[in-house]
Amino acid sequence: MSLSPATSLPTRLDAALLERAARPLDLELPAATRAEVDRGRTFVDRCLSGDHAIYGSTTGFGPLVAFAGRDTAADQCDNVLQHLTAGQGPDLPPELVRATVLARLWSLARGRSGVSGTVLDALCAMLRTTFAPAVPTLGSVGASGDLVPLAHIAQALRGHGYAYLDGRRLPAEEALREAGLAHLPLDGRDALGFVNGTSLTTAAAALAWTSISRSLKAAAALTALLADLLGCAPAFLAPQLLKAYGHPAVIATGERMAALLAGVRPEPDRPLQEPYSIRCSPQLLGAAASAVEYAGSVVDNDLNGVSDNPLFFEEDDLIAHGGNFFGQPCAFAADLLAMVATQTGNLAERQLDLLVDPHRNGGLPPMLSPEPGRQHGLQGVQVVTTAVVVDMRRRATPASFQSVPTNLHNQDVVPFGTQAALNALSLAGSLRLLHGSLALGLRQAVFVGARRPTAPACVRLFDELAAVLEPVERDRPLDTAVRAAADLLDAHLADA
The mean of the pLDDT values for the chain is 93
Contacts of 148 (CB under 8 A, 6+ apart): 84, 85, 86, 87, 136, 139, 140
Tell me, what's the pLDDT at 5? 54
Q: How many CB atoms lie within 10 A of CB 7?
A: 14
Could you tell me if 305 and 197 are in contact, meaning their C-beta atoms sit under 8 angstroms apart?
no
Query: How many angstroms separate the Cα of 252 from the Cα of each of 28, 220, 249, 289, 347?
Result: 40, 11, 5, 9, 19
- Write the DSSP assignment of 273-327 as a string of letters: S--HHHHTHHHHHHHHHHHHHHHHHHHHHHHTS---SSEEEGGGTEEE-S-TT--
Tell me, what's the pLDDT at 404? 83
Poorest-confidence range of 9-13, 174-178, 260-264? 9-13
Tell me, what's the pLDDT at 1? 40
The arithmetic mean of pLDDT across residues 59-63, rounded, is: 72
* Statement: residue 106 has pLDDT above 60: yes
Q: The whole model's pTM is what?
A: 0.95
The arithmetic mean of pLDDT across residues 78-93, rounded, is: 92
Residue 294 catalytic?
Answer: no
Tell me, what's the pLDDT at 4? 45
**Chain mean position to CA 479:** 23
At 88, give phi and psi (nearest 5°): -135, 165
Packing angle of the helix pair 281-303, 248-260 (nearest 10 deg): 110
Closest CA to 232 of 284, 283, 274: 274
Q: Tens digits of per-residue pLDDT, 5-24?
A: 568 898 899 999 999 999 99
Tell me, what's the pLDDT at 6? 65
Q: Tens digits of per-residue pLDDT, 111-134?
A: 999 999 999 999 999 999 999 999
* Statement: residue 66 has pLDDT above 70: no
Higher pLDDT among residues 383 and 141, named by residue = 383
The arithmetic mean of pLDDT across residues 153-160, rounded, is: 97
DSSP secondary structure code for residue 411 in this structure: B
Cα separation of 400 and 141, whole Å? Answer: 10
Confidence of residue 220 (pLDDT cuts 50, 70, 90): very high
Secondary structure (3-state) at 359: coil
- Which letter, b or e, does each residue of 248-272 get, where b requires 16 or more Cβ atoms within 10 Å of its Cβ? ebbbbbbebbbebbeebebeeeeee
Confidence of residue 400 (pLDDT cuts 50, 70, 90): confident
Tell me, what's the pLDDT at 292? 98
Cα separation of 438 and 432, whole Å? Answer: 10
Could you tell me if 215 and 341 are in contact, meaning their C-beta atoms sit under 8 angstroms apart?
yes
Higher pLDDT among residues 415 and 239, named by residue = 239
Closest CA to 198 of 120, 103, 110, 82: 103
Tell me, what's the pLDDT at 2? 42
Higher pLDDT among residues 402 and 245, named by residue = 245
* Statement: residue 475 has pLDDT above 60: yes
The arithmetic mean of pLDDT across residues 451-471, rounded, is: 98
Q: Tens digits of per-residue pLDDT, 408-422?
A: 776 778 888 999 999
Amino acid letter for position 23: R
**Rg of the chain's alpha carbons, rounded to an integer?**
26
Domains along the chain with CATH numbers: 7-197 (1.10.275.10), 205-492 (1.20.200.10)
Q: Pick the catalytic residue: 55, 162, 164, 276?
A: 55
Give me the count of residues in the chain: 496
DSSP secondary structure code for residue 6 in this structure: T
Strands (E), 92-218: 132-133, 136-138, 162-165, 168-171
Q: How many CB atoms lie within 10 A of CB 315?
A: 7
Tell me, what's the pLDDT at 142? 83
Q: Tens digits of per-residue pLDDT, 311-338?
A: 999 999 998 998 888 899 999 999 999 9
